[in-house]
Structure 1
Amino acid sequence: MEELELTRATTEQRNPRSMGLDRMSSLEIAKLMNDEDKGVAPAVEKVLPEVAKAIDWAREALGKGGRLIYIGAGTSGRLGVLDAAECPPTFGVEPGVVVGLIAGGDRALTTSVEGAEDDPVLCEEDLRSLGLNSKDLVVGLAASGRTPYVLGGFAYAKKVGCRTVAISCNSESAVGREAGLSIEPVTGPEVLTGSTRLKAGTAEKMVLNMISTGSMVGLGKAYENLMVDVQQSNHKLTSRAVNIVCEATGCSTESAREALDRSLQDVKVAVVMLLAGISVEEARGRLESSSGHVREALEQRSSE
């Protein structure tokens, strides 16, 4: 019965355009895959209202001190871990604010852990170890739409009182039925039958980009389209911080570096002090009263 359910999934069906895949040249394969990928963005476009709701839910959870927790297995799990890992350097959040859980643990990031995704209890244990609470948002990723690890995580999240979001590439999926919100961009049969790391994985990555970026922007992690909470953890990001201050204020590189030194390398403080013509202390105070939103900090009247 389970095998029958899986073969009915769109992601498991054979793609008629790639039936001769094993006879194609390298260029023909590349062209076919590129052509198939052109349908991913339109598939995601159809579910943008649901994505927007997920952004709102994530913003609300993070704003209340909760966490954004991704759960998944295989490629889906790895995509969640990747998105979580990129949030601290990009948005300046602590590593535990956005979390990625993959069936089988860290070893599954590079090596297949057989059977891990088939154990619904395993995800409950992983979520328990995180201290899951009702303020958190749990986002389950399952391209096939039926991963037991994700279903088990949703069952436990419901008991705790968490909101849940399912991301799948099959319509009316099992994970979608179990979640409070279902996002299902249907990308169709893969070029390589059942290999959901291809179009389905691309769609999942696009949706994750929107959820994490949209929620972080809503929390004040951007000014205009600049990542003003970037963490200067390497030379590239240090240079980016200087460039951001220059772009935001129109100042010289020298002035940007000086402002960053005065603000203890806090890009937001440097931007506000330069644009408002105020001290480091007042810039920091304005940002605190505006919950870190640069635009709102700039609109406040000077207290000096």
Structure 2
Amino acid sequence: MVEPEYRDSFRGFMAGGDVALIRSIEKFEDREEYGRRQLRDLGFVDGDLILAITEGGETPFVIAAGEEGVKLSPSRKHYFLYCNPDETLCRLAERSKRVIENDRFIKMNLTHGPMGITGSTRMQATTVQLLAAGLAIQHHAKPENIQPSLQRIAKYICDDCRFDELAPFTTAEAALYRAG
């Protein structure tokens, strides 16, 4: 999705770093100062772009990293991707409200409703957020490529996916849950 000349221009980071991919680091994502510091340690400077991605829209680490990105790179707008209604987040979490009301962020509210498939809510949120993040990156790299990308995705989902083949698995899984 990203053009070859841009592929070395991206750096991802997550609460707890690479270690957290293997073993959970409890409470790391709850510390705002860790988000700010990790972004600074990466050498984030003016002109850099941050895509602050949080499943629920309230993770302190992600929000602080996003706000730090705004401070360190004031020459551009940054992205905030999340999957809960704005009014709920603004009512329940002051930190979420700060970001949602900050015009230095392009907000991508990706509220998607209940799970279509049983499993982790984060799995569904991650899927929609990765698609949106890819489109946001592509928009900044080559805006003219977004429409063809969306058309390819829609064609794949509508014409090429065989969702009917998943039905027996979903039925069997539901039976297992009912049986206890």
Flag the 1:110–1:213 CA change in 2: closer, same or farther, 3 A: farther
Rounded Cα–Cα distance in structure 2 between residues aligned with 1:102 and 1:111: 13
Rounded Cα–Cα distance in structure 1 between residues aligned with 2:100 and 2:4: 29
Aligned to 2:109: 184
Aligned to 1:135: 47
Aligned to 1:91: 4
Show structure 1 runs of 5+ residues with no match.
1-85, 226-304
* Aligned pair partner of 1:102 in 9, 14, 21: 14
Rounded Cα–Cα distance in structure 2 between residues aligned with 1:144 and 1:151: 11
How much has 1:200 moved relative to structure 2? 1.6
Matches within 5 A, 1:23-62: none
Rounded Cα–Cα distance in structure 2 between residues aligned with 1:189 and 1:216: 33
| TM-score under structure 1 length normalisation | 0.39
* 1:73-124 deviation per Cα after TM superposition (whole angstroms, max 9, x unaligned): xxxxxxxxxxxxx85xx524353x1111100011122322211111111111
Please say if 1:211 is aligned against 2:124: no
Residues 117 and 149, structure 1, Cα contact 8 Å, conserved in 2 = yes
Look up the equivalent residue of 2:18 and give its one-letter code: D
Look up the equivalent residue of 1:157 and give its one-letter code: G
Show structure 2 runs of 5+ residues with no match.
90-95, 150-180
* Aligned pair partner of 1:167 in 59, 63, 81: 81
Q: How many residues were matched structurally?
A: 133
How much has 1:169 moved relative to structure 2? 0.9
How much has 1:160 moved relative to structure 2? 2.0
Residues 91 and 216, structure 1, Cα contact 8 Å, conserved in 2 = no
Look up the equivalent residue of 1:99 and give its one-letter code: R
Residues 139 and 164, structure 1, Cα contact 8 Å, conserved in 2 = yes
Aligned to 1:201: 126
* 1:206-261 deviation per Cα after TM superposition (whole angstroms, max 9, x unaligned): 10221223333359x9xx99xxxxxxxxxxxxxxxxxxxxxxxxxxxxxxxxxxxx
* 1:50-93 deviation per Cα after TM superposition (whole angstroms, max 9, x unaligned): xxxxxxxxxxxxxxxxxxxxxxxxxxxxxxxxxxxx85xx5243
Matched residue SS, 1:182: strand
Flag the 1:154–1:93 CA change in 2: closer, same or farther, 3 A: closer
Aligned to 1:36: none
* Aligned pair partner of 2:35 in 119, 123, 128: 123
Residues 167 and 176, structure 1, Cα contact 8 Å, conserved in 2 = no
Residues 82 and 109, structure 2, Cα contact 8 Å, conserved in 1 = yes
Matched residue SS, 1:158: helix
Please say if 1:113 is aligned against 2:37: no
Flag the 1:155–1:212 CA change in 2: closer, same or farther, 3 A: closer
Matched residue SS, 2:107: strand
- The structure showing larger relative contact order (alpha-carbon pairs under 8 Å, at least 6 residues apart) is 1
Look up the equivalent residue of 2:27 and give its one-letter code: G
* Aligned pair partner of 2:60 in 148, 158, 165: 148
Rounded Cα–Cα distance in structure 2 between residues aligned with 1:128 and 1:157: 9
Rounded Cα–Cα distance in structure 2 between residues aligned with 1:153 and 1:147: 10
Rounded Cα–Cα distance in structure 2 between residues aligned with 1:201 and 1:153: 18
| TM-score under structure 2 length normalisation | 0.62
Aligned to 1:42: none
Instruction: Work out which of the two has the higher radius of gyration on C-alpha atoms and give 1 or 2.
Output: 1
